Amino acid sequence: MVRNMTGREFILKTPLGVEDILALRVGDRVFLSGELYVARDATHRRMLSEVAQGKELPFPIHGAVLYYAGPTPPPPHEPVGSIGPTTSRRMDPYLAFFLERGLRATIGKGERGEEVKQLLEKYKAVYFIACGGAGAYLSTFVVSQEVLAYEDLGAQALFRLLVKDFPLMVAYDAFGGDLFEEGKIRYRRILLYHRENSNRGE
């Protein structure tokens, strides 16, 4: 862990252990290296369908990190194209299935359902957010990319990325912490403060 004047920073490597997860709190910044598995809603449905048919998951899930994204085709001599996060809430119905099997973290953008926070507490996992609208920038942290399965799904195939110091922030931790809710509370306090001081000046 590294501390600076603006908060806490962690340098982590996949696969993640429970001890990694329990050290994190909402608002912490994380620079993640190792393997990420890229999957969206069609990919999730395909994986669940295959497991129901008795097949194995196409990636090692214990300690893994799922990134909700749809990479664009790579330009010449680059490992990947734009790789920005997609809205995470669409994957909420599938989350319990993966957490039960050892998934430790997901990456996406936006708020998620209340049940997600409960699942993260139960299974000791976290939800990271990546910078939305910065897919080209995020691609600079990708060392390599390969299609693992479901190539017929195009951008929704299952990809494996090797990343170096991929920049993230903890949005939901394993203790019920919610960065979005904390932000709303902070905004309401600031608004109330300004209103009270404005009234005193009248």
What DSSP line would sit under 10-72, residue for residue?
EEEESSPPHHHHHT--TT-EEEEEEEEEE--HHHHHHHHHHHHTTPPPSS--TT-EEE-B-PP
For residue 178, the model assigns a pLDDT of 93
Question: Residue 194's pLDDT is what?
Answer: 39
pTM for the model: 0.87
Considering the chain, what percentage of its residues have pLDDT values greater than 90?
75
Q: What is the pLDDT of residue 7?
A: 63
77 is catalytic: no
Question: Which phi and psi angles does 185 have, rounded to 5°?
Answer: -65, -45
CA 7 to chain centre: 19
Average pLDDT, the chain: 88
Give me the catalytic one of 44, 62, 77, 194. 44
* Predicted confidence band of residue 6 (pLDDT cuts 50, 70, 90): very low
What dihedral angle (degrees, nearest 10) is formed by the CA atoms of 136, 184, 181, 70?
Answer: -20
pLDDT for position 197? 52
158-177 residue pLDDT tens: 999 999 999 999 999 999 99
Region of 170 (left: φ > 0; alpha: ψ -120 to 50; beta: rest) is beta
The answer to which of 67-71, 132-136, 161-165, 197-201 has the lowest mean pLDDT is 197-201
Mean pLDDT of 60-89: 91
- Is a pLDDT exceeding 90 seen at residue 157? yes
Q: What are 23-63's pLDDT values in tens digits?
A: 999 999 999 999 999 999 999 999 999 999 999 999 999 99
* Top-confidence residue, 60 or 180: 60
- Regarding the domain delimited by 2-200, which CATH topology (the fold level of the hierarchy) does it fall under? fumarase (3.20.130)
